[in-house]
Structure 1
Amino acid sequence: MNYRTQMEAAKKGIITKEMLSVAAKEHIKEEKIRESVACGRVAIPANIKHKSLSPEGIGEGLRTKINVNLGISGDSIDYTREMEKVDLAIKFGVEAIMDLSNYGKTNTFRTQLISRSPAMIGTVPMYDAIGYLEKDLMDIKAADFLKVVEAHAEEGVDFMTIHAGINRRAVECFKRSKRLTNIVSRGGSLLFAWMEMTGNENPFYEYYDEFLEILREYDVTISLGDALRPGSINDSSDAGQLSELIELGNLTERAWERDVQVMVEGPGHMAINEIAANMTIQKRLCHGAPFYVLGPLVTDIAPGYDHITSAIGGAIAASSGADFLCYVTPAEHLRLPDLEDVKEGIVASKIAAHAADIAKGIPGAREIDNKMSDARRRIDWEEMFSYAIDGEKARAYFESAPPAERHTCSMCGKMCAMRTTNKILAGEKVEFCSENKQ
């Protein structure tokens, strides 16, 4: 193998087995995938040590991908339950899982996750630093952060969120902006605290080239974290968010120069009327790199329903250029999600992603909708359940109030519009009274 990363191979004109896999899944020519990886508009996160991976492409012209966050915290230490969430995510076909565990020694769970998951695996090394190193935040050195990143790469992590853009310039801009919700990124807030307490520059920014060398060795995709993403619609599109985005654009080019694949992370909370413009600005400032968004949540007043506020924003964001949606569950802002929360978050995100793919004209995106509509016309329930994103729920709803006649549902009964029209077009009469007497 005369290349280290997917990007290096693509630049050399080599089509890797991962590119072939992505091309087949996306119904796109292999050469087109190679060209997109070479210029950075598509990333294929695929750590050379992740042997169970089913490669996926993220970026321009491809299906919108979904990420599921999970992991333990100090208030909820149950690895078995988190692995059940993994199994659920795989069952629903999500393309990525991020292990955000932030308590104790997390490598055992992460190693098991990587060994069994066909989905790409992501982490935020900053979360793991304190538990892994067993040091207080202020006592951690730049070399320690490098050590954690290398440990995650060695384990087989496919992409890592690195908050390299929150440097001293971005911090000063944040302080001047007088935000309503300040910094809501967990990793960003920890780095901000470290910088303020030590008086040092962000180590991920200061030693960026050293981090890139580690990522390049294992072909880990860097996901440039948005430490200053808005945590309320009041703070969206402010100077802090945009100043960091400018830094991320520069860091994107520096990574590409070293053949490290890049994704760029985005908001956050944002009013509907700002979303499309933000997608355009990000793509411009970050040179077309794949864009990974959390939401955005389009209102701040729906705790318990933020999978819906996120799906609204995610559909708009993806149809306007975002490539990768991080799911949000009903438990967002309230607690660690349980299994049902995870399911609700996955389904909401899949709806948003699919709706956006239809709007973007992604090849084949409409086909399953057309199949569903045809099955509805024929009133074939089993076929409808097979096409549904959550067929089990659809079946349970239908069977909870079964109709007297199978070729209807309990809402319309024999007045079903499909049934009525089918009968007339077949040359039959529609006679409700006489049918009821029989």
Structure 2
Amino acid sequence: MRNYKTQMEAAKKGIVTPEMETVAKKENMDVNELMALVAAGQVAIPANVNHTALSAEGIGKGLKTKINVNLGISGDAKNYDIEMQKVDMAIKFGAEAIMDLSNYGKTNTFRKELVAKSPAMIGTVPMYDAIGYLDKDLLEISAQDFLKVVKAHAEEGVDFMTIHAGINRRAIEAFRREGRKMNIVSRGGSLLFAWMMMTGNENPFFEYYDEVLEILREYDVTISLGDALRPGCLADASDAAQISELIELGNLTKRAWEKDVQVMVEGPGHMAMNEIAANMIMEKKICHGAPFYVLGPLVTDIAPGYDHITSAIGGAIAAASGADFLCYVTPAEHLRLPDVDDVKEGIIASKIAAHAADIAKGVKGARDIDDKMAAARHKMDWDEMFEIALDGEKARRFFEQTPPADRHTCSMCGKMCAVRTTNMILEGKEVKFCSEK
């Protein structure tokens, strides 16, 4: 029986956990260095005691940027078989986390299957599930009802939960005073705002925050402090509402650490490129170096159908500037529930952003695979290139669609391939084009 409740408690006591050993090996990091970062709250290792299929990952300072895949059913799209196909896709392409955002009916059967199957971290937003789980309308739900859902998710093995505890009366005052073009675009945030306005009560996750922390501590669930007032368009970025909530999240971070509960802080959704770096610095400062988890950010509002690209641009800048965890965005964002192909496109775009950022910020070993690709291209070894590629199946399919006459080139340049020409000259060979048959 382990003599600690959470990874943070163990780290503070100088205990190296199996999860820390796993993460240290993956990150090529000394385990004692990692333990110190966990103790300080600068790295989180979300690892519910009931998630036995988990292959632990670390999120935070000095580690590789991780990505999260959102999935789950809604009232208009209720096929769990398709959602499980998305899970398989996420695992295949190496997503480190999967969030079940199901918001219709009784979702616990799918969630239990997901936890039993997935080596990736599992996250949820209990607020989404409250109405279906409790079978009550919003106005009928009590503060203690919300806590019941949190406990149920924790018992089922969820590794991290988005809890919108920062949208309290002070933050709402700033939001209502200043006004916005897009108001509240967070689903959980809007539900809490509605509940607070209809009941006249304080946010239950803020008012009963200590009780929430006790539940999370019992199962070693990491709290992901939700950004209920995140900007939903460029015009609302870095406004009073967003910053007011962030200040509240900074205080809630310290309170969680006092209970040995690990923390991630969630960040903005839509933001112009020139504001991103400053926002990353501000979050780290206000939230005491806690790992930062961002949705995008999307750097323009005019690209529905291509928001996996707008978010990858913002995600790369954010991660290079200090963000630790990227939530993927699919081409279907703002339009419909994503299908399996959308999920794949979102994963690849987010993986590219995360990897590019890791290279930029000098994460140890990040560029090794790029150097391997360069060596394979130098040799014109297509099979090795496809093996190294993020999506080797797609790369091979493109190559074979218009096969070259000479296997040592591709159909774009053919025998005029720059690599082929240079290699031949350096090998002392004569380069010919017209006379070659």
Structure 2: which amino acid aligns with 1:206? Answer: E
Structure 2: which amino acid aligns with 1:193? Answer: A
1:393-412 CA distance string (max 9 Å, x none): 00000000000000000000
1:331-356 CA distance string (max 9 Å, x none): 00000000000000000000000000
Structure 2 counterpart of 1:242: 243
1:407-430 CA distance string (max 9 Å, x none): 000000000000000000000000
Structure 2: which amino acid aligns with 1:347? Answer: I
1:85-131 CA distance string (max 9 Å, x none): 00010000100000000000000000000000000000000000000
Structure 1: which amino acid aligns with 2:160? Answer: F
Structure 2: which amino acid aligns with 1:164? Answer: A
Measure, in 1, the Cα distance between the counterparts of 2:105 and 2:433. 67
Structure 2 counterpart of 1:231: 232
Structure 2 counterpart of 1:167: 168
How far off is 1:431 after superposition? 1.0
Structure 1 counterpart of 2:52: 51
How far off is 1:164 after superposition? 0.1
How far off is 1:327 after superposition? 0.1
Structure 2 counterpart of 1:333: 334
Structure 2 counterpart of 1:77: 78
In structure 2, list runs of 5 or more residues that go unmatched: none
Structure 1 counterpart of 2:159: 158
What secondary structure, in the 3-state scheme, does the structure 2 residue paired with 1:309 have? helix
2:35 is the counterpart of 1:34: yes
How far off is 1:176 after superposition? 1.2
Structure 2 counterpart of 1:388: 389
1:271-322 CA distance string (max 9 Å, x none): 0000000000000000000000000000000000000000000000000000
What secondary structure, in the 3-state scheme, does the structure 2 residue paired with 1:399 have? helix
Structure 1 counterpart of 2:279: 278
How far off is 1:433 after superposition? 1.2
After superposition, residues 6-405 of structure 1 pair within 5 angstroms as 6-405=7-406
Structure 2: which amino acid aligns with 1:350? Answer: K
What secondary structure, in the 3-state scheme, does the structure 2 residue paired with 1:433 have? coil
1:30-62 CA distance string (max 9 Å, x none): 001100000000000000000000000000000
Structure 2: which amino acid aligns with 1:45? Answer: P
Q: Percent identity?
A: 78
Measure, in 2, the Cα distance between the counterparts of 1:378 and 1:176. 63
Measure, in 2, the Cα distance between the counterparts of 1:12 and 1:233. 44
How far off is 1:325 after superposition? 0.1
What secondary structure, in the 3-state scheme, does the structure 1 residue paired with 2:302 have? coil
1:134-160 CA distance string (max 9 Å, x none): 111011001101100000000000000
Measure, in 2, the Cα distance between the counterparts of 1:177 and 1:84. 43
Measure, in 2, the Cα distance between the counterparts of 1:177 and 1:370. 50
How far off is 1:434 after superposition? 1.2
Measure, in 1, the Cα distance between the counterparts of 2:352 and 2:138. 40
2:430 is the counterpart of 1:429: yes
How far off is 1:270 after superposition? 0.1
Structure 2: which amino acid aligns with 1:402? Answer: P
The alignment covers a number of residue pairs equal to 436
Measure, in 2, the Cα distance between the counterparts of 1:88 and 1:311. 19
How far off is 1:178 after superposition? 1.2
1:346-380 CA distance string (max 9 Å, x none): 00000000000000100100000000011111110
What secondary structure, in the 3-state scheme, does the structure 2 residue paired with 1:229 have? coil
Measure, in 1, the Cα distance between the counterparts of 2:119 and 2:295. 22
Measure, in 1, the Cα distance between the counterparts of 2:332 and 2:178. 29
Structure 1: which amino acid aligns with 2:192? Answer: L
How far off is 1:11 after superposition? 0.2
Measure, in 2, the Cα distance between the counterparts of 1:15 and 1:72. 38
How far off is 1:19 after superposition? 0.2
How far off is 1:177 after superposition? 1.7
